[in-house]
Amino acid sequence: QPEVGKPLRNCYSLPGPDFTYGIYQGERDGGVPEAIGHWDVVKARPRKKKVMPRDFVAMGRRAVEERCTTAREFALYYKFKDLRLKEDSILSKYARKIPPDMTFGRPSRPPSPFFDIMQHRFKELWMEEQRARTVVQRVVKKKKLSEGVRDNRTQYLRMHPPPKKEESFWHPQRFGKVEPQLRTFPDPDSLKKALSA
């Protein structure tokens, strides 16, 4: 069992006190005297040729000229005809001509006048706006009170009743020749009398 108040010990035995941790590097660069004494010349590497992206627009145009119609024919054409973009074409396509006197960025807002801030000018302007708003609200309120009590919807419908809908007894033509299944009237005269009412 572990000792009271102490963590568990691992099972690995550590090396002695003369052991140095880390990787030993045998090479030495000479320090400051060697850095000051002579320049370290780096040989220039040969520049690799830049691989340009494929020009799918030109390949697609030429594939149509070769009368390719299906996706498989297009894929085969792209496989055997590998056309690449020219470096000049990319620059001319994406680079815009920028005028020399153009300034980038957003214009800064005009600075707040310092004397207006010190004299609480903005507070006074806000107070004037609030006073003008309260005056307008009072005028509107007085105008509403002078107009009288507003009618509700029930009173409006009593004064202006909606037009009555006329019921239409229209039936499709296909049901015109069908005779009724039940005859509830004793004679045709009582039927005409009921329909006329």
Position 99 in a domain: no
Position 109 in a domain: no
Position 187 in a domain: no
d(CA 141, CA 133): 12
**Residues 129-175: pLDDT tens digits?**
999 999 999 998 888 777 766 678 888 888 888 888 777 777 777 77
**Is pLDDT at 94 greater than 60 in this prediction?**
no
User: 138 lies in which domain range?
Assistant: 114-146
Closest-CA residue to 88 (of 55, 129, 123): 55
Q: How many CB atoms lie within 10 A of CB 128?
A: 10
**Residues 12-65: pLDDT tens digits?**
788 888 888 888 766 667 777 777 777 777 788 887 777 888 888 999 999 999
Position 61 in a domain: yes
pTM above 0.75, yes or no: no
Q: 70, 87, 104: which is the final residue of a domain?
A: 87
Q: How many folded domains does the chain comprise?
A: 2
Give the number of C-alpha atoms closer than 13 A to the C-alpha of residue 22, restricted to the C-beta side. 4
- pLDDT band for 77, please (50, 70, 90 cuts): very high
Q: 87, 106, 132: which is the final residue of a domain?
A: 87
